[in-house]
Amino acid sequence: MNVTPKLVIGNWKMNGLREASLQLATAVAEGARSLPDDVRMVICPPFTQLDRVAEALEGAGASLMLGAQDCHTAVSGAHTGDISAEMLADTGVRYVLLGHSERRQAHGENDALIRQKVQAAEAAGLIPVVCIGETMAERQDGRAATVLASQIDGSLTDNFNGVLAYEPVWAIGSGVTPSREELERTLLLLRGLLQSRLKMDDIRVPILYGGSVTPAQAPTILSIGVLGGVLVGSASLEARSFLRIAEAASLRLSSQPLSGPYRS
């Protein structure tokens, strides 16, 4: 039976100088070699470290791929400080994060802009990872489902064939995660919204969870059958913790004690 690999994406955010980035990427690449083929890893470093990390990932194949944290809507032009999707693809990037809550909040990005970025990423052959999620106020007001539906409807293209990442804003960096039951309900809601929005079988659109994912929490989170993987923030900045999360994502390893240098 073919099993769709779980996706474990590490978002380094604005962290990493040259030597430390190379050491971290190299350590992750070495550990990824021992992972079964039912898990895929992606590293999303800052733009300045893409070339450096790409060197460390050479020869890793599909088990460990390069990602980026954002892209511009245009192919080229007078956009000082921006990076196009084509530039990312030229560097060896396969995945690109779009619509992260930190971009939505700190840079005022809205759904319409994110959809344009998705179109640019798709045109360049990249796999867009679109982030959505509700704030604490929206959650407490009972508007979470409405907000998520609006973000899906506004951010995704009609023939979207990327990845959806659910990151409740209230959980990011807080150390707090939804209960297993609450998360499972939300994931089922998202699958229904995807099917309605895309008007097709949504099985091809993996849904990830992100928001203070740690090695300790990962086994419980990843045991939810509908979940396609996780988007990891601070825990991806240390090879041991990131690889432990990847091991938890593997069906072949999650039922066994963790082995090797990444066991507890």
Find out whether 83 and 44 touch, Cβ atoms under 8 Å: no
Does 174 show up as a binding residue in the annotation? no
Residues tagged active-site: 100, 167
H helix runs in the chain, sequence order: 18-32, 50-57, 85-91, 101-106, 111-123, 136-140, 144-155, 180-198, 218-222, 239-249, 251-254
Does 170 show up as a binding residue in the annotation? no
165: which strand partners? 131, 208
What separation in angstroms does the CA of 42 have from each of 31, 193, 246, 262? Answer: 13, 26, 10, 18
Does 2 show up as a binding residue in the annotation? no
Q: Which of 79, 87, 9, 98 is nearest to 45 (CA)?
A: 9
219: CB partners within 8 A, 6+ apart: 248, 254
What 8-state DSSP symbol labels residue 191? Answer: H
- Alpha-carbon gap, residue 90 to 29, rounded angstroms: 21
What 8-state DSSP symbol labels residue 84? Answer: B
Does 11 show up as a binding residue in the annotation? yes
Q: Which of 76, 70, 82 is nearest to 45 (CA)?
A: 70
Which residues are documented as binding site? 11-13, 173, 212
Which residues are documented as binding site for substrate? 11-13, 173, 212
